[in-house]
């Protein structure tokens, strides 16, 4: 029932707020700052991709002082995509004032246009050539393959690495998906607990195996109604054995631990991923599934690759109306010894304007339901007061069309 309610809520929110199918003006695009670095008005980016892009923006800011923003709209309504993206860049002021070290990755999906706009401080050297190669080699092929989330994530990661010289701690070639189904793994070693062995006994049914039942906790809501329904159907569907085509059964939580790696057990222990072991009751063929729980607050560890890194923030200096603040971010992995600490600048406070007061009632719904929404914004719906650093661009960079 919870999944059904979440599906209905996501659909209503999408229809009421996202504004798909229509052109937007620059003033109507909500700034993602200070909460994040991404504004997706189409609901295209899964929650995992949004989280990874926002994490990338934080990492770029912390390591280089530069700023990278990602915007996805449906259409610019006939306006030249390059001019539209450049004006948006300057309206927000992406990058640090004086250094002009900002990057905007802008996509108009219905127009099939993508833009990388560079701040004036990044156009020297190989910046423009690198952006052209990223659009041509990394992004356009993925758009043409029907993978916009992968195209945008890979493009932003490549911009960070090849233009800003910031190697993201987590690299992926395509956007994260709701769930992953692995092909049958190589033979697993015999478990220490014999009662959970997967070798089928004489009666043909493995011990501790139970018929798969719907568990809404294994679902990963991603905001879009269609994706929610797809995740629901996937979780309900029992896979079939590739050898004998028989429906497989799922081991219970106690039994499947014997067939999980140490890192996978750690992911289940902290609640970041639900791993499932499915077994064919006839031939014993095994299949492994994993369902990331996106609301867990854990991210992928750059050393052991387990989704077991928890970040905590502590305020070092409070932001005021005259200057920004400073936070310390501490990261620790629950699976290995990885530990990392760094500081992060926060924007100075913005005094509310009359427009903010008039808009406050309509933004209350967004702030209270931000975890279900597939696009992020600050409490101001306009581009002014964007909490970026005040950078400028003359429009150099790269354009692409697929």
Residue whose entry in the numeric block shows the structure tokens 């640090």 = 96
Show the tokens assigned to 13.
């929110």
In the predicted structure, residue 129 carries a pLDDT above the cut 50: yes
Nearest to 368 by CA among 13, 118, 30, 47: 13
Between CA 144 and CA 141 the distance in angstroms is 5
* Type and span of the H or E element at 293: none
- pLDDT tens readout for residues 5-14: 444 444 444 4
- pLDDT tens readout for residues 246-289: 888 988 888 888 889 999 999 989 988 888 888 999 888 888 88
Q: What is the pLDDT of residue 371?
A: 34
Name which residue leads in pLDDT, 220 or 161: 161
CA-to-CA separations, 207 to 41, 161, 202, 203, 284, in angstroms, rounded: 49, 49, 11, 10, 11
Angle at 180 between CA 179 and CA 184, to 5 degrees: 145
The Cβ-side half-sphere exposure at 250, using a 13 Å CA radius, reads: 18
- pLDDT tens readout for residues 330-382: 889 999 999 988 886 777 777 765 544 444 444 433 433 333 333 333 333 33
Nearest to 56 by CA among 220, 140, 167: 167
- pLDDT tens readout for residues 109-124: 999 999 999 999 998 7
- pLDDT tens readout for residues 34-78: 889 999 999 999 999 999 999 999 999 999 999 999 999 999 988
Neighbours of 244 (CB within 10 A): 11
Residue whose entry in the numeric block shows the structure tokens 């209350």 = 364
Pairing of strands 339-346, 325-333: antiparallel
Between CA 59 and CA 36 the distance in angstroms is 12
Q: What is the pLDDT of residue 45?
A: 94
The structural domains of the chain, with segments of one domain joined by +, span 2-170+351-401, 180-294
CB-based contact 200:283 (threshold 8 Å): yes
Q: What is the pLDDT of residue 352?
A: 66
CB-based contact 117:90 (threshold 8 Å): no
CB-based contact 48:176 (threshold 8 Å): yes
**Residue 141: is it exposed, middle or buried by C-beta count within 10 angstroms (0-12/13-18/19+)?**
middle
Between CA 105 and CA 140 the distance in angstroms is 13
Written as one string, the DSSP assignment of 32-73 is -TTT-SEEESSS-S-HHHHHHHHHHHHHHHHHHS-EEEEEEE
For the question of whether the overall pTM of this predicted structure is more than 0.75, the answer is no
- Report the residue count for the chain: 402
Looking at the structure, give the CATH architecture of the domain made up of residues 2-170+351-401. Roll (3.10)
Nearest to 257 by CA among 277, 271, 273, 284: 277
CB-based contact 38:69 (threshold 8 Å): yes
């Amino acid at each position: 029932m919870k999944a059904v309610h979440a599906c209905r809520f996501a659909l209503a929110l999408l229809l009421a707020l996202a504004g798909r199918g229509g052109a937007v003006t620059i003033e109507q695009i909500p700034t993602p700052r200070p909460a994040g670095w991404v504004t997706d008005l189409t609901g295209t980016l899964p929650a995992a991709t949004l989280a990874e892009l926002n994490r990338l923006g934080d990492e770029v800011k912390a390591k280089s002082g530069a700023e990278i923003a990602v915007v996805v709209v449906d259409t610019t309504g006939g306006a030249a995509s390059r001019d539209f993206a450049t004006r948006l860049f300057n309206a927000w002021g992406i990058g640090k004032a004086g250094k002009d070290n900002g990057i905007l990755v802008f996509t108009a999906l219905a127009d099939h246009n993508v833009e990388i706009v560079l701040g004036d401080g990044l156009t020297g050297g190989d910046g423009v050539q690198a952006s052209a190669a990223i659009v041509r080699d990394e992004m356009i092929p993925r758009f043409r393959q029907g993978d916009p989330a992968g195209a945008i994530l890979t493009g932003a990661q490549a911009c960070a690495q090849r233009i800003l010289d910031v190697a993201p701690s987590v690299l992926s070639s395509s956007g994260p998906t709701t769930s992953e189904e692995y092909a049958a793994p190589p033979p697993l070693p015999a478990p220490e607990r014999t009662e959970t062995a997967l070798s089928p006994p004489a009666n043909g049914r493995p011990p501790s195996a139970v018929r798969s039942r719907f568990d809404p906790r294994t679902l990963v809501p991603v905001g879009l109604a269609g994706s929610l329904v797809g995740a629901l159907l996937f979780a309900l569907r029992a896979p079939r054995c590739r050898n004998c085509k028989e429906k497989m059964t799922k081991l219970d939580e106690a039994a499947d631990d014997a067939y999980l790696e140490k890192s996978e057990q750690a992911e289940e222990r902290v609640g970041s991923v639900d791993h499932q072991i499915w077994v064919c009751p006839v031939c014993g063929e095994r299949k492994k599934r994993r369902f990331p729980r996106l609301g867990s607050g854990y991210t992928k560890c750059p050393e052991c690759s387990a989704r077991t890194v928890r970040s905590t923030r502590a305020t070092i200096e409070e932001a005021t109306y005259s200057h920004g603040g400073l936070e310390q971010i501490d990261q620790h992995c629950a699976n290995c010894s990885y530990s990392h600490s760094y500081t992060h600048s926060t924007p100075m406070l913005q005094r509310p304007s009359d427009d903010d007061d008039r808009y406050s009632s309509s933004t209350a719904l967004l702030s209270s339901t931000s975890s279900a929404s597939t696009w992020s914004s600050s409490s101001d719906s306009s581009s002014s007061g964007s909490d970026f650093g005040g950078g400028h661009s003359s429009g150099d960079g790269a354009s692409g069309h697929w």
